[in-house]
């Protein structure tokens, strides 16, 4: 993990970072990556990866019947910036 890789990660994860954070994160992430390397020593050939501990779980479906939706007013009560019934955001494309 170096500064350049961290920069790339911060773009992928959409989190801007300050210089101080960058230094601490490079060290912190490197430390954990070194720690988890121990897993490489185990031979897992032929082992099926575990996706869920509920081994018999299959897709859970329901009848295609509409349930009462969340009201628009209630939804908008948490929206940081709105206009009428719309969520307001800054321009998506730069003019």
Partner 1 sequence: MHDLSGILLRQLFIKNELSATEICNFFLHRIEQYEPALGSFLSIFSKRALYKAEELDAKRAQNKPLGKLAAIPIAIKDNIHVLGERTSCGSKFLSNYRALFDATVTRLIEEEDGVILGKTNLDEFAMGSSTEKSAFQLTKNPWDLSCSPGGSSGGSAAAVAARLCPISLGSDTGGSIRQPAAFCGIVGFKPSYGRVSRYGLVSFASSLDQIGPLTTTVADAALMMEVIGQHCKYDSTCLSFPLNNPLNQLKTPFKEKITLGIPKSFLKNLEREIGQNFQYAVESCEKLGYSIIEVDLDILNYSIAVYHILSTAEASTNLARFDGIRFGNRSLQAKTLIEVLDLSREEGFGFEVKQRILLGTYLLSSGYQEAHYRQAQKMRQLIIESFKKVFEKCQMIITPTAPSAAFELGYIQDSLEMSLQDIYTVPASLAGLPAISIPSGFSSKGLPLALHITARQFHDNELLQLAYHIEKSQPFIQKIPPQFDDNGD
Query: In whole angstroms, how close is the CB of 84 to partner 1 at the nearest point?
Result: 16
Q: Is 86 in the site for partner 1 (CB under 8 A)?
A: no
What number of chain residues touch partner 1 (CB under 8 A)? 52
Among 2, 4, 12, 68, binds partner 1 (CB under 8 A): 12
Beta-carbon contacts of residue 6 (< 8 Å; ≥ 6 apart): 17, 22, 25, 26, 29
Q: How far apart are CA 4 and CA 6, in angstroms?
A: 5
- Restricted to residues 54-73, the positions that interact with partner 1 (CB under 8 A) are 54, 57, 60, 62, 70
Could you tell me how far CA 81 lies from the centroid of its own chain? Answer: 23
- Pair of tokens at residue 20: 């101080």
Binding pattern to partner 1, positions 26-55, x when CB under 8 A? --xx-xxx-xx-xxx-x-x--xxxxxxxx-
Beta-carbon contacts of residue 81 (< 8 Å; ≥ 6 apart): 87, 88, 89
Beta-carbon contacts of residue 34 (< 8 Å; ≥ 6 apart): none
Give contact residues for partner 1 (rule: CB under 8 A).
Answer: 1, 5-6, 9-10, 12-18, 21, 24-25, 28-29, 31-33, 35-36, 38-40, 42, 44, 47-54, 57, 60, 62, 70, 74-75, 77-81, 87, 89-92, 94
């Amino acid at each position: 993990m170096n500064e350049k890789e961290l920069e790339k990660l911060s773009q992928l994860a959409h989190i801007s970072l300050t210089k101080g954070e960058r230094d601490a994160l490079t060290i912190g992430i490197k430390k954990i990556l070194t720690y988890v390397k121990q897993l490489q020593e185990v031979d897992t050939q032929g082992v099926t990866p575990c996706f869920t501990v509920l081994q018999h779980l299959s897709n859970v479906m329901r009848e295609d019947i509409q349930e009462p939706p969340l009201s628009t007013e209630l939804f908008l009560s948490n929206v940081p910036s709105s206009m009428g019934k719309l969520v307001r955001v800054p321009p998506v494309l730069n003019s």
